[in-house]
Structure 1
Protein backbone atom coordinates (compact mmCIF):
# COMPACT_ATOMS: atom_id res chain seq x y z
CA UNK A 1 0.00 0.00 0.00
CA UNK A 2 1.44 3.39 -0.95
CA UNK A 3 1.62 6.33 1.51
CA UNK A 4 -1.40 8.14 0.06
CA UNK A 5 -3.56 5.02 0.19
CA UNK A 6 -2.48 4.44 3.78
CA UNK A 7 -3.20 8.03 4.76
CA UNK A 8 -6.69 7.99 3.23
CA UNK A 9 -7.64 4.59 4.62
CA UNK A 10 -6.28 5.31 8.10
CA UNK A 11 -8.14 8.61 8.34
CA UNK A 12 -11.38 7.12 7.01
CA UNK A 13 -11.13 4.26 9.51
CA UNK A 14 -10.36 6.64 12.42
CA UNK A 15 -13.40 8.78 11.60
CA UNK A 16 -15.73 6.06 10.32
CA UNK A 17 -16.08 7.88 6.99
CA UNK A 18 -16.87 6.51 3.55
CA UNK A 19 -15.43 7.66 0.22
CA UNK A 20 -18.62 9.68 -0.26
CA UNK A 21 -18.16 11.38 3.14
CA UNK A 22 -14.62 12.45 2.30
CA UNK A 23 -15.65 13.58 -1.19
CA UNK A 24 -18.57 15.63 0.09
CA UNK A 25 -16.49 17.29 2.82
CA UNK A 26 -13.72 18.12 0.34
CA UNK A 27 -15.84 19.10 -2.64
CA UNK A 28 -14.26 16.51 -4.93
CA UNK A 29 -15.79 13.55 -6.80
CA UNK A 30 -16.29 10.30 -4.90
CA UNK A 31 -14.61 8.47 -7.79
CA UNK A 32 -11.47 10.57 -7.25
CA UNK A 33 -11.29 9.69 -3.57
CA UNK A 34 -11.85 6.01 -4.41
CA UNK A 35 -9.16 6.06 -7.11
CA UNK A 36 -6.60 7.72 -4.84
CA UNK A 37 -7.38 5.26 -2.04
CA UNK A 38 -7.08 2.19 -4.27
CA UNK A 39 -4.48 2.99 -6.97
CA UNK A 40 -1.30 1.05 -6.18
CA UNK A 41 0.98 3.67 -7.72
CA UNK A 42 0.21 7.09 -9.13
CA UNK A 43 1.79 7.99 -12.46
CA UNK A 44 1.97 11.59 -11.25
CA UNK A 45 0.67 13.47 -8.24
CA UNK A 46 -2.92 14.72 -8.47
CA UNK A 47 -3.64 18.36 -9.32
CA UNK A 48 -3.20 20.78 -6.41
CA UNK A 49 -6.95 21.48 -6.19
CA UNK A 50 -7.58 17.75 -5.82
CA UNK A 51 -4.99 17.54 -3.04
CA UNK A 52 -6.52 20.55 -1.31
CA UNK A 53 -9.99 19.00 -1.54
CA UNK A 54 -8.70 15.69 -0.23
CA UNK A 55 -7.01 17.44 2.70
CA UNK A 56 -10.24 19.30 3.44
CA UNK A 57 -12.23 16.10 3.18
CA UNK A 58 -9.88 14.24 5.51
CA UNK A 59 -9.50 17.29 7.81
CA UNK A 60 -5.70 17.15 7.74
CA UNK A 61 -3.09 19.68 6.58
CA UNK A 62 -2.62 19.85 2.81
CA UNK A 63 1.16 19.54 3.31
CA UNK A 64 0.64 16.02 4.71
CA UNK A 65 -1.48 15.04 1.70
CA UNK A 66 1.02 16.57 -0.76
CA UNK A 67 3.91 14.67 0.77
CA UNK A 68 1.99 11.36 0.69
CA UNK A 69 0.90 11.97 -2.93
CA UNK A 70 4.44 12.81 -4.04
CA UNK A 71 5.75 9.67 -2.40
CA UNK A 72 2.97 7.58 -3.98
CA UNK A 73 4.05 8.92 -7.38
CA UNK A 74 7.69 8.08 -6.69
CA UNK A 75 8.76 11.67 -6.12
CA UNK A 76 10.55 13.31 -3.21
CA UNK A 77 8.80 16.08 -1.32
CA UNK A 78 10.41 18.84 0.69
CA UNK A 79 9.37 21.38 3.25
CA UNK A 80 8.94 24.96 1.99
CA UNK A 81 11.60 26.36 4.34
CA UNK A 82 14.25 24.04 2.83
CA UNK A 83 13.83 25.25 -0.77
CA UNK A 84 16.75 27.16 -2.18
CA UNK A 85 15.92 30.13 -4.44
CA UNK A 86 16.85 28.30 -7.64
CA UNK A 87 14.48 25.43 -6.86
CA UNK A 88 11.75 27.86 -5.88
CA UNK A 89 12.07 29.55 -9.29
CA UNK A 90 11.97 26.20 -11.11
CA UNK A 91 8.85 25.09 -9.25
CA UNK A 92 7.14 28.42 -9.89
CA UNK A 93 8.00 28.19 -13.59
CA UNK A 94 6.49 24.71 -13.82
CA UNK A 95 3.12 26.05 -12.71
CA UNK A 96 3.07 28.21 -15.85
CA UNK A 97 3.41 25.23 -18.21
CA UNK A 98 0.43 23.43 -19.67
CA UNK A 99 -0.23 19.78 -18.79
CA UNK A 100 1.57 18.38 -21.87
CA UNK A 101 4.70 20.44 -21.22
CA UNK A 102 4.73 19.43 -17.53
CA UNK A 103 4.58 15.77 -18.60
CA UNK A 104 7.58 16.35 -20.88
CA UNK A 105 9.54 17.99 -18.06
CA UNK A 106 8.60 15.13 -15.71
CA UNK A 107 9.77 12.56 -18.27
CA UNK A 108 13.07 14.45 -18.69
CA UNK A 109 13.66 14.61 -14.93
CA UNK A 110 12.81 10.92 -14.48
CA UNK A 111 15.17 10.03 -17.33
CA UNK A 112 17.97 12.12 -15.82
CA UNK A 113 17.48 10.57 -12.40
CA UNK A 114 17.47 7.03 -13.78
CA UNK A 115 20.72 7.59 -15.68
CA UNK A 116 22.45 9.49 -12.87
CA UNK A 117 22.68 12.74 -14.86
CA UNK A 118 21.21 14.87 -12.08
CA UNK A 119 24.58 15.44 -10.40
Structure 2
Protein backbone atom coordinates (compact mmCIF):
# COMPACT_ATOMS: atom_id res chain seq x y z
CA UNK A 1 0.00 0.00 0.00
CA UNK A 2 1.32 3.43 -0.97
CA UNK A 3 0.35 6.61 0.90
CA UNK A 4 0.40 10.09 -0.62
CA UNK A 5 0.00 13.29 1.37
CA UNK A 6 -2.42 15.85 -0.06
CA UNK A 7 -2.32 19.58 0.50
CA UNK A 8 -5.00 20.27 3.15
CA UNK A 9 -6.21 23.29 1.20
CA UNK A 10 -7.19 20.99 -1.65
CA UNK A 11 -8.52 18.10 0.50
CA UNK A 12 -12.17 18.72 -0.34
CA UNK A 13 -11.50 18.94 -4.06
CA UNK A 14 -9.42 15.76 -4.10
CA UNK A 15 -11.96 13.91 -1.93
CA UNK A 16 -14.77 14.75 -4.33
CA UNK A 17 -12.74 13.49 -7.29
CA UNK A 18 -11.71 10.28 -5.51
CA UNK A 19 -15.26 9.54 -4.30
CA UNK A 20 -16.58 10.03 -7.82
CA UNK A 21 -14.00 7.62 -9.20
CA UNK A 22 -14.79 5.03 -6.51
CA UNK A 23 -18.54 5.27 -7.16
CA UNK A 24 -18.05 4.56 -10.86
CA UNK A 25 -15.50 1.83 -10.28
CA UNK A 26 -12.70 3.82 -11.92
CA UNK A 27 -9.38 4.87 -10.43
CA UNK A 28 -7.15 7.83 -11.06
CA UNK A 29 -3.43 8.10 -10.23
CA UNK A 30 -2.73 10.54 -7.45
CA UNK A 31 0.11 12.01 -9.48
CA UNK A 32 -2.35 13.25 -12.11
CA UNK A 33 -4.53 15.19 -9.70
CA UNK A 34 -4.26 18.92 -10.35
CA UNK A 35 -0.98 18.39 -12.22
CA UNK A 36 -1.84 20.78 -15.07
CA UNK A 37 -2.94 23.50 -12.66
CA UNK A 38 0.35 23.21 -10.79
CA UNK A 39 2.37 23.58 -13.99
CA UNK A 40 0.43 26.68 -15.06
CA UNK A 41 0.76 28.21 -11.58
CA UNK A 42 4.51 27.68 -11.66
CA UNK A 43 4.71 29.22 -15.12
CA UNK A 44 2.85 32.28 -13.86
CA UNK A 45 5.01 32.49 -10.74
CA UNK A 46 8.23 32.43 -12.80
CA UNK A 47 6.89 35.18 -15.06
CA UNK A 48 5.89 37.28 -12.03
CA UNK A 49 9.32 36.81 -10.44
CA UNK A 50 11.05 38.07 -13.59
CA UNK A 51 8.59 40.96 -13.87
CA UNK A 52 9.37 41.93 -10.28
CA UNK A 53 13.11 41.92 -11.02
CA UNK A 54 12.54 44.35 -13.88
CA UNK A 55 9.88 46.42 -12.12
CA UNK A 56 7.33 45.72 -14.87
CA UNK A 57 3.56 45.64 -14.67
CA UNK A 58 1.44 43.21 -16.66
CA UNK A 59 0.65 46.03 -19.06
CA UNK A 60 4.34 46.77 -19.63
CA UNK A 61 5.13 43.10 -20.25
CA UNK A 62 2.22 42.86 -22.68
CA UNK A 63 3.46 45.93 -24.59
CA UNK A 64 7.01 44.63 -24.86
CA UNK A 65 5.85 41.14 -25.86
CA UNK A 66 3.35 42.42 -28.44
CA UNK A 67 0.41 40.75 -26.70
CA UNK A 68 -2.89 41.93 -25.27
CA UNK A 69 -2.85 42.51 -21.52
CA UNK A 70 -5.76 40.11 -20.80
CA UNK A 71 -3.78 37.34 -22.53
CA UNK A 72 -0.75 38.00 -20.33
CA UNK A 73 -2.95 38.16 -17.22
CA UNK A 74 -4.56 34.77 -17.96
CA UNK A 75 -1.15 33.14 -18.42
CA UNK A 76 0.20 34.63 -15.17
CA UNK A 77 -2.95 33.83 -13.20
CA UNK A 78 -2.97 30.25 -14.50
CA UNK A 79 -6.48 30.50 -15.90
CA UNK A 80 -5.13 29.75 -19.38
CA UNK A 81 -4.70 25.99 -19.02
CA UNK A 82 -2.67 25.49 -22.19
CA UNK A 83 -1.18 28.83 -23.35
CA UNK A 84 0.01 28.97 -26.94
CA UNK A 85 3.70 28.24 -27.35
CA UNK A 86 4.06 31.37 -29.51
CA UNK A 87 2.73 33.54 -26.67
CA UNK A 88 5.10 31.95 -24.15
CA UNK A 89 8.00 32.56 -26.56
CA UNK A 90 7.05 36.23 -26.90
CA UNK A 91 6.91 36.65 -23.14
CA UNK A 92 10.23 34.84 -22.72
CA UNK A 93 11.88 37.04 -25.36
CA UNK A 94 10.61 40.21 -23.69
CA UNK A 95 11.91 38.99 -20.30
CA UNK A 96 15.27 38.00 -21.78
CA UNK A 97 15.11 34.26 -21.05
CA UNK A 98 14.55 31.09 -23.03
CA UNK A 99 11.01 29.66 -23.09
CA UNK A 100 12.27 26.54 -21.28
CA UNK A 101 13.13 28.71 -18.28
CA UNK A 102 9.51 29.76 -17.95
CA UNK A 103 8.18 26.25 -18.58
CA UNK A 104 10.59 24.21 -16.45
CA UNK A 105 12.38 26.69 -14.20
CA UNK A 106 16.04 27.42 -13.70
CA UNK A 107 17.63 30.83 -14.04
CA UNK A 108 20.84 30.06 -15.87
CA UNK A 109 19.58 30.12 -19.45
CA UNK A 110 19.14 33.85 -19.90
CA UNK A 111 19.41 35.10 -23.45
CA UNK A 112 22.05 37.69 -22.63
CA UNK A 113 24.10 35.08 -20.77
CA UNK A 114 24.05 32.26 -23.30
CA UNK A 115 27.44 30.77 -24.19
CA UNK A 116 28.63 31.77 -27.63
CA UNK A 117 31.07 28.88 -28.10
CA UNK A 118 34.81 29.08 -28.71
CA UNK A 119 35.99 32.27 -30.36
CA UNK A 120 38.54 32.29 -33.16
CA UNK A 121 39.26 35.99 -32.81
CA UNK A 122 39.52 38.47 -29.95
CA UNK A 123 37.52 40.92 -32.06
CA UNK A 124 34.44 38.67 -32.07
CA UNK A 125 31.70 39.59 -29.62
CA UNK A 126 28.33 38.10 -28.80
CA UNK A 127 25.39 39.16 -30.94
CA UNK A 128 23.30 42.12 -29.74
CA UNK A 129 20.24 41.12 -27.77
CA UNK A 130 16.80 41.36 -29.35
CA UNK A 131 14.35 42.76 -26.84
CA UNK A 132 10.68 42.14 -27.58
CA UNK A 133 8.67 42.81 -30.71
CA UNK A 134 7.28 45.73 -32.70
CA UNK A 135 4.06 45.90 -34.73
CA UNK A 136 4.03 46.03 -38.52
CA UNK A 137 1.44 48.72 -39.23
CA UNK A 138 -0.21 49.82 -42.46
CA UNK A 139 0.58 53.00 -44.36
CA UNK A 140 -2.96 54.16 -43.60
CA UNK A 141 -2.14 53.92 -39.90
CA UNK A 142 1.13 55.73 -40.49
CA UNK A 143 -0.74 58.49 -42.35
CA UNK A 144 -3.04 58.93 -39.36
CA UNK A 145 -0.09 59.13 -36.98
CA UNK A 146 -0.27 61.83 -34.31
CA UNK A 147 1.43 60.22 -31.32
CA UNK A 148 2.36 56.76 -30.05
CA UNK A 149 -1.17 56.33 -28.69
CA UNK A 150 -2.25 55.91 -32.30
CA UNK A 151 -0.05 52.85 -32.89
CA UNK A 152 -1.67 49.45 -32.49
CA UNK A 153 0.78 47.40 -30.44
CA UNK A 154 -1.43 44.33 -30.80
CA UNK A 155 -1.15 44.19 -34.59
CA UNK A 156 -1.59 40.83 -36.33
CA UNK A 157 1.96 40.95 -37.66
CA UNK A 158 4.91 41.61 -35.38
CA UNK A 159 8.67 41.38 -35.89
CA UNK A 160 11.62 41.32 -33.45
CA UNK A 161 12.68 44.71 -32.12
CA UNK A 162 16.10 45.78 -33.45
CA UNK A 163 18.85 46.30 -30.85
CA UNK A 164 19.21 49.87 -29.62
CA UNK A 165 15.80 51.05 -30.80
CA UNK A 166 13.26 52.66 -28.49
CA UNK A 167 10.06 50.98 -27.34
CA UNK A 168 8.15 53.43 -29.56
CA UNK A 169 9.55 51.77 -32.68
CA UNK A 170 7.16 50.33 -35.25
CA UNK A 171 7.60 48.69 -38.65
CA UNK A 172 6.28 49.27 -42.18
CA UNK A 173 6.49 47.34 -45.43
CA UNK A 174 8.04 49.35 -48.26
CA UNK A 175 5.65 50.02 -51.12
CA UNK A 176 6.51 51.43 -54.52
CA UNK A 177 9.92 51.87 -56.11
CA UNK A 178 10.87 55.43 -55.14
CA UNK A 179 13.58 54.22 -52.72
CA UNK A 180 15.24 51.66 -55.01
CA UNK A 181 17.83 50.22 -55.10
CA UNK A 182 18.43 50.40 -51.34
CA UNK A 183 14.86 49.53 -50.34
CA UNK A 184 12.91 47.05 -52.44
CA UNK A 185 9.10 46.78 -52.33
CA UNK A 186 7.99 44.45 -49.54
CA UNK A 187 11.07 45.05 -47.40
CA UNK A 188 10.28 45.68 -43.72
CA UNK A 189 11.68 48.91 -42.32
CA UNK A 190 11.91 49.89 -38.65
CA UNK A 191 10.85 53.44 -37.80
CA UNK A 192 11.86 55.03 -34.48
CA UNK A 193 9.94 58.23 -33.60
CA UNK A 194 12.37 59.01 -30.75
CA UNK A 195 15.45 59.40 -32.99
CA UNK A 196 16.25 62.95 -34.10
CA UNK A 197 16.48 63.22 -37.92
CA UNK A 198 19.68 64.49 -39.54
CA UNK A 199 20.80 65.24 -43.08
CA UNK A 200 21.03 62.01 -45.07
CA UNK A 201 18.70 60.00 -42.84
CA UNK A 202 15.89 57.98 -44.36
CA UNK A 203 12.64 59.05 -42.74
CA UNK A 204 8.91 58.44 -42.79
CA UNK A 205 7.12 61.78 -43.01
CA UNK A 206 3.52 62.90 -42.94
CA UNK A 207 2.55 65.30 -45.73
CA UNK A 208 -0.17 67.38 -44.12
CA UNK A 209 -1.38 68.75 -47.48
CA UNK A 210 -2.40 65.25 -48.57
CA UNK A 211 -2.68 63.57 -45.13
CA UNK A 212 -0.51 60.69 -46.29
CA UNK A 213 2.76 59.18 -45.15
CA UNK A 214 5.77 58.97 -47.42
CA UNK A 215 9.18 57.28 -47.19
CA UNK A 216 12.08 59.42 -48.41
CA UNK A 217 15.62 60.59 -47.64
CA UNK A 218 15.99 63.82 -45.66
CA UNK A 219 18.31 66.34 -47.31
CA UNK A 220 19.42 69.62 -45.75
CA UNK A 221 21.21 71.98 -48.15
CA UNK A 222 22.94 75.11 -46.80
CA UNK A 223 20.70 78.00 -47.72
CA UNK A 224 18.27 75.63 -49.44
CA UNK A 225 16.26 74.46 -46.47
CA UNK A 226 15.07 70.92 -45.88
CA UNK A 227 13.81 68.60 -48.60
CA UNK A 228 12.71 65.01 -49.04
CA UNK A 229 14.35 63.05 -51.82
CA UNK A 230 13.53 59.76 -53.57
CA UNK A 231 16.64 57.56 -53.71
CA UNK A 232 15.69 56.04 -57.07
CA UNK A 233 17.74 58.00 -59.64
CA UNK A 234 15.11 57.30 -62.28
CA UNK A 235 12.21 58.53 -60.18
CA UNK A 236 10.27 61.46 -61.74
CA UNK A 237 10.05 64.56 -59.53
CA UNK A 238 12.33 63.13 -56.85
CA UNK A 239 12.31 66.26 -54.64
CA UNK A 240 9.68 67.38 -52.14
CA UNK A 241 10.34 70.76 -50.54
CA UNK A 242 9.45 71.06 -46.86
CA UNK A 243 7.74 74.35 -46.19
CA UNK A 244 5.68 73.67 -43.09
CA UNK A 245 3.56 71.04 -44.81
CA UNK A 246 5.54 68.09 -43.47
CA UNK A 247 5.88 66.33 -40.12
CA UNK A 248 8.65 63.77 -39.74
CA UNK A 249 7.16 60.75 -37.99
CA UNK A 250 10.40 58.90 -37.36
CA UNK A 251 13.83 57.87 -38.62
CA UNK A 252 14.41 54.50 -40.29
CA UNK A 253 16.85 52.67 -38.02
CA UNK A 254 16.94 49.28 -39.72
CA UNK A 255 15.37 46.89 -42.19
CA UNK A 256 14.42 43.24 -42.32
CA UNK A 257 14.30 40.98 -45.36
CA UNK A 258 12.27 37.79 -45.16
CA UNK A 259 12.12 35.10 -47.82
CA UNK A 260 8.62 34.74 -49.24
CA UNK A 261 7.22 31.19 -48.89
CA UNK A 262 6.82 29.27 -52.18
What TM-score does the superposition give when structure 1 sets the normalisation length? 0.48
Rg (Cα) greater in structure: 2
Task: From the two aligned structures, give the one with the greater helix fraction.
Answer: 1
What TM-score does the superposition give when structure 2 sets the normalisation length? 0.23
Task: From the two aligned structures, give the one with the greater strand fraction.
Answer: 2
**Which structure carries more relative contact order (alpha carbon 8 Å, separation 6+)?**
1
